[in-house]
Chain A
Amino acid sequence: MGKTLAEKVWDDHVVAKGEDGNPDLLYIDLHLLHEVTSPQAFDGLRLAGRPVRRPDLTIATEDHNTPTINIDKQIVDLTSRTQIETLRKNCAEFGVRLHPLGDIEQGIVHVVGPQLGLTMPGVTVVCGDSHTSTHGAFGAMAFGIGTSEVEHVLATQTLPLKPFKTMAITVEGELRPGVTAKDIILAVIARIGTGGGQGYVLEYRGSAIRSLSMEGRMTICNMSIEAGARAGMVAPDQITYDYLQGRPHAPEGVDWDAAVKYWNTLPTDDDAVFDAEILVDASELEPFVTWGTNPGQGVSLSESIPDPAQYADPNDRAAAERALEYMDLAAGTPMKDIRVDAVFMGSCTNSRIEDLRAFASVIKGHQKAEGLRVMVVPGSARVRLEAEAEGIDKIITDFGAEWRFAGCSMCLGMNPDQLEPGERCASTSNRNFEGRQGKGGRTHLVSPLVAAATAIRGTLSSPWDLVAEGVAPTRPEAVATHSNSIGVDA
């Protein structure tokens, strides 16, 4: 019997096979660190007198606590500042490469790895962060770990793990214009639920996935964790190789050739069997948006808020009722009638250059809706520079939005970028939990295109609405779903 992509990558990293139900010892190719989940791991090493085994497979960046304005000033919040300073101290002491605030490679850890060419097919990637699943877009086995596991990897470059089950999520057909990777994954999570992927590695396949750019694939893999999965993966192909080749840490010359030869063997064999399979018709998908307080509580933008009474499961019903109360929304309200106070364009889900281009392509030449707060936060310092070289910053500030420095920002509000109590936000991030973006804040998860249209109209909207009203010169057909060709190139 053939093997799946996930099984191939796994098998090639087993250092010691676990006998009778014991975990395998798995080798880790790349360990990413940030300031929040690493301090106690380093402290543990220090207490035990252990070194970092492979500093050359380890890299750190500052993202969760970093400010997005006045980045040259001292961080006011004491906890944030301590975490940042501790990371700097630890990296210096243990010889770990760090990209601190102000550095050209600083940014959200899941944007930085791929951008440097460190994330590649067929490798294992871990980080003390649940959205490590992002890196699976390259055909890597990438998953989040806890702080004691961070210490374990620092000390041994391995992890004892039991194999995951595999689930195929096959998305066939052509996406309609204006429908993006974000809409695919929001629709998938709404369908299988926030626990639907538990214990699984999800492999996204099918023609719709194949036609996505690396950015789009990263958006999808990023949110695998929101379906409860350990990891998400996409088989590597020419799009992967084209994205990777020439990046600072991508293999070169004969190494590149050897790598590609191996990577070409990774896609799931035709006769491999998945433990579970889901089929999605891409051509039916519309722009998708959440109404509740978990990423599975979503509907198409053209629909209305569901009535909790229609849920057969009493737990789902109670959760929906609680969510609507927190969100201050009534069942039956059309999603498009919902007015927002803020738009957040950023996070490791949607803050790469292509996301910013998509956002800019819609808002170009418009003014933001009155009274709206619109914040655009690039995923890394390099993305920020790239965007500025293309004039995207200008489009954003002309629109009346704020153009910030890189970091996690309002995705979780560990820095001062937070929603006020009661404020409602259309956000391109990945979690709409109660208080996630600030105490009492209300989050609707959306794609960059929906975020842009919403910022123009002030109510949850898609680019389709702009055309219908004749507001936008951009017809949705002109709005690329997944390519870079949207007219704001430098």
Chain B
Amino acid sequence: MEKITRITGIAVPMPRSNIDTDQIIPAVFLKRVTKTGFEDALFHAWRQEPDFVLNRAEYRNARILVAGPDFGTGSSREHAVWALRDFGFDVVLSPRFGDIFRGNSGKQGLLTGQISEADASQLWALMEAAPGIEATVDLVDRTATLGNLTVPFEIDDYTRWRLLEGLDDIGLTLRDEAKITQFEKTREAWRPRTLPAR
């Protein structure tokens, strides 16, 4: 996982509330066997509408999503995070997130910052006035800046630390690699081994 400190990129407004994981990625895509290649599946139903915001040329390379409240509620599918990452998103800002979605995001390097509803409205207004405008999200300061407006966002200390260090769950565990190796040395001979096959 890459370390995140500051991200600058095109911000896209999605002021709808209650964007659940089924809307982020419909169930039919869960049959796939990879963790990547989900960019086309992202917001699949809405992408069929020509004037859906992500279909507009100025948002093709968007990296920061500013969504309405209760983003990522519903089914726990991790695919929702993979799809957002595949499309190119590094950050989602919203006044409220689904818990499981938020947990999954932190593990996949997607920064989820909680902003106030008033700040969200201000950000949307600025984006609508200048479609394709870039925003800067600073994880060290916990702020998002768009033009002259800087708003604070909340993220828990642990997730923030992991993102700053670029540690996924596995990376975190592998910090204890020496202990794992030590444990393996004491593992008794009778314990199961699948190889060689007998």
Contact = CB atoms under 8 A, between A and B. Distances in A.
A176 to B, nearest CB: 37
Contacts of A83: 33
A89 B195 CA distance: 18
Nearest to A159: B173
Contacts of B172: 160
A30 B190 CA distance: 13
B33 A27 contact: no
A152 B170 contact: yes
Nearest to A30: B192
Interface stretch (A202-210, A225-233, A252-260, A455-463): A252-260
Contacts of A258: 188-190
A267 B175 CA distance: 34
A262 interface: yes
Nearest to A78: B31
A155 B169 CA distance: 10
A148 B170 CA distance: 10
Interface in B24-50: 31, 33-36
B31 A248 contact: no
A319 interface: no
B184 to A, nearest CB: 8
Contacts of A158: 173, 176, 180
Given A44-B35, A97-B197, A255 B189 contact: yes
B127 to A, nearest CB: 31
A255 B179 CA distance: 25
Interface stretch (A48-56, A303-311, A362-370): A48-56
Contact of B192 (A151, A156, A249): A249
Contact of A29 (B173, B174, B192): B192
Nearest to A160: B173
Contacts of A29: 191-192
A40 B187 CA distance: 29
Interface residues of A, number: 45
A160 B169 contact: yes
Contacts of A86: 33
B190 A40 contact: no
Contact of B33 (A43, A148, A251): A43
B34 to A, nearest CB: 5
Contact of A40 (B34, B168, B174, B189): B34
A251 B1 CA distance: 40
A29 B34 CA distance: 27
A47 interface: yes
Of the four ranges (under 10, 10 to 19, 20 to 34, 35 or more), the interface on chain B belongs to 20 to 34
A151 B82 CA distance: 15
A86 B33 CA distance: 7
Given A15-B179, A43-B35, A58 B194 contact: yes
A147 B194 contact: no
A39 B33 CA distance: 5
A82 interface: yes
Contact of B170 (A16, A40, A117, A151): A151
A258 B190 CA distance: 8
Contacts of B78: 40, 147-148
Interface string B154-198: 000000000000001110111010011001100111111111011
Contacts of B169: 148, 152, 160
B183 A152 contact: no
Contact of B183 (A15, A58, A251, A255): A15
B174 to A, nearest CB: 6
A97 B176 contact: no
Given A15-B180, A16-B179, A249 B198 contact: yes
A286 to B, nearest CB: 38
Given A15-B176, A25-B176, A86-B33, A50 B170 contact: yes
A57 B180 contact: no
A16 B197 contact: no
B194 A59 contact: yes
Contacts of B36: 43, 47
B96 interface: no
Nearest to B168: A48
Nearest to A43: B35
Nearest to A79: B31
Nearest to B189: A255
Contacts of B192: 29-30, 57, 117-120, 123, 249
B102 interface: no
Contact of A43 (B34, B170, B173): B34
B107 interface: yes
Contact of B193 (A25, A56, A148, A155): A56
B170 A48 contact: yes
Contacts of B173: 25, 152, 155-156, 158, 160
A16 B176 contact: yes
Contacts of A151: 170
A157 interface: yes
A56 B195 contact: yes
7 contacts: A39-B33, A43-B35, A47-B36, A56-B193, A156-B170, A160-B173, A255-B189
**9 A-B pairs with least C-beta separation:** A39-B33, A251-B190, A259-B190, A56-B195, A255-B190, A59-B194, A248-B198, A43-B35, A86-B33
Interface of B: 1, 31, 33-36, 78, 107, 168-170, 172-174, 176, 179-180, 183-184, 187-195, 197-198
Given A118-B192, A249-B192, 20 more contacts: A15-B176, A30-B192, A40-B78, A43-B34, A43-B35, A50-B170, A59-B194, A82-B33, A86-B33, A117-B192, A119-B192, A120-B190, A151-B170, A152-B169, A155-B173, A158-B180, A160-B169, A251-B189, A255-B189, A256-B190
